[in-house]
Chains A and B, each alone.
Chain A
């Protein structure tokens, strides 16, 4: 049960900071710029620059670093896994031999490089979700996507679906924990047995979870209809997004740095 408590990925921490108050569109686009340049950069020095930007961002956002790094924990396994795969599977100058396995210099460099990439990727997106409330995040996405409306992109519907999905992540996690506890009290065991048995043991969690998710969906649909929800057509926003000087400056700054980093490294 401790596993479920530790997921901070996708959580929003309210603070009054420069980063929090940025326009969500600017934040999303900046993150996108950083992520694109992450994949263009081919040298460690480039990652050092991007990493520094993110660290500065975390400091300005006043979100406790412990929170940011806790979000990394579930991803740690994937990072270590890719590191190991790269270590052993890359051909090149042999550094160390372990039976039929061999560690190569190229593998080591490549593995560390990919790990850094994943690391910064997660930090960037964590900073975005930690400093932006789900509502303004989807607001921003909706506005950004509405550029594509003319090719038939249902921007509002996509944004609404995302809002609902984000909104229900914690609810479903809570529900899962509750169901797990209830089944443990009834004699279920989720901690021992082989993989086959463990998978089978998930049935008592998954079925009640699906049942309740469907019920929730049904209730939500009725509630929305009762409030006369009819899609995005002609809908106005209570909170108007406004681009201020700070937003433009931030975007220019991030844009220049990422473009330079991508070109130079």
Chain B
């Protein structure tokens, strides 16, 4: 078990006139190597929740364990935890500040007091992970880049501290479809090739349903659904619609076919899957027709 939350509650402005309860009794286990999508409406507590993973916020009550260590106990070195759990905030391009991209990505490793060679190696590695050419980009100013590139540099600056887990808050917000797909496929590759645990946080079902292995659905500070996306779309479609999150378009299409009386599997995530499923059904019923006629 990599991260374990036990009955975590969190309240903003505790004992103040503007007190708001953001997290309600959340218990959660995250294993090493998982690829998770955390989904919920704006203001449901997603960002608050992920800030508990690396000790940026301390729960009002409850415990957070990272690799079995209670991170809010006295004397725990939170910097070590933050090396293990890399948190990428929304619009990470807004946190860039160095003169060159090299320095930007080297910021984290430098704080770990590594040698020059090791820092360079890590920068090369991190830039490669986000598919930016070291020779072309290293000496450029991060402020001269496009939005999507800036975001990838910001991502690289977290990857260069070699976290075991990567948490990304709305990584695709404000990007064009091309930049969005690029980030998502890179995340997938980082998870598959390096075995890094990845959590994608989003309010948009279309974006993450397709690529994650496990879906966590949050609503008003609680985790209401937890499981593989196919299972959730098949069994709990009504709950998703009830909380206003809805289904991906393809999945909705299949549900409507089912509602019209077609016997069809509704837990599909991609257009390709849906195509295959529908063709299979049509062929089967054609066969049955032929048998009847024959």
Contact = CB atoms under 8 A, between A and B. Distances in A.
A183 B95 contact: yes
B161 to A, nearest CB: 6
Contacts of A178: 89
Band of interface residues on B: 20 to 34
Contacts, number: 61
Given A64-B17, A204-B97, A207-B97, A182 B92 contact: yes
A186 B108 contact: yes
B107 interface: yes
B289 to A, nearest CB: 60
B94 A186 contact: no
Contacts of A179: 94-95
Contact of A212 (B94, B111, B161): B94
21 contacts: A1-B56, A64-B17, A66-B16, A181-B56, A182-B87, A182-B89, A182-B92, A185-B54, A185-B86, A186-B95, A186-B107, A186-B158, A187-B79, A187-B107, A187-B111, A188-B107, A204-B95, A208-B94, A208-B95, A208-B96, A211-B97
B27 interface: no
B279 to A, nearest CB: 47
A219 interface: no
Nearest to B157: A186
A204 B103 CA distance: 12
B285 to A, nearest CB: 54
Contacts of A211: 94, 97, 143
A187 B97 contact: no
B95 A187 contact: no
A17 B231 CA distance: 55
B83 interface: yes
Contacts of A1: 56
B231 to A, nearest CB: 32
A247 B6 CA distance: 56
A204 B107 contact: yes
A10 to B, nearest CB: 15
The 6 closest A-B pairs by CB, nearest first: A207-B97, A187-B111, A187-B108, A185-B87, A182-B95, A182-B89
A203 B97 contact: yes
A186 B83 CA distance: 8
Nearest to B17: A64
Interface in A185-239: 185-189, 203-204, 207-208, 211-212
Interface in B29-80: 51, 54, 56, 79
Contacts of A204: 95, 97, 107
A144 interface: no
Contacts of A189: 79, 111
B175 interface: no
A185 B158 contact: yes
A189 B83 CA distance: 12
B97 A208 contact: yes
B146 to A, nearest CB: 16
A64 B15 CA distance: 12
A19 B94 CA distance: 41
Contacts of B13: 5
Contacts of A184: 56, 82
Interface in A1-39: 1, 5, 13
Interface in B80-126: 82-83, 86-89, 92, 94-97, 107-109, 111-112
A215 B95 CA distance: 14
Contacts of B79: 187, 189
A187 B162 CA distance: 11
A204 B56 CA distance: 17
A88 interface: no
A67 interface: yes
A242 B123 CA distance: 64
A141 to B, nearest CB: 27
Contacts of B143: 211
Nearest to B111: A187
Nearest to B107: A186
B114 to A, nearest CB: 11
A109 B68 CA distance: 57
A178 B86 CA distance: 15
Nearest to A203: B97
Nearest to A210: B97
A178 B92 CA distance: 10
A225 B105 CA distance: 39
A181 B161 contact: no
Interface in B143-184: 143, 157-158, 161
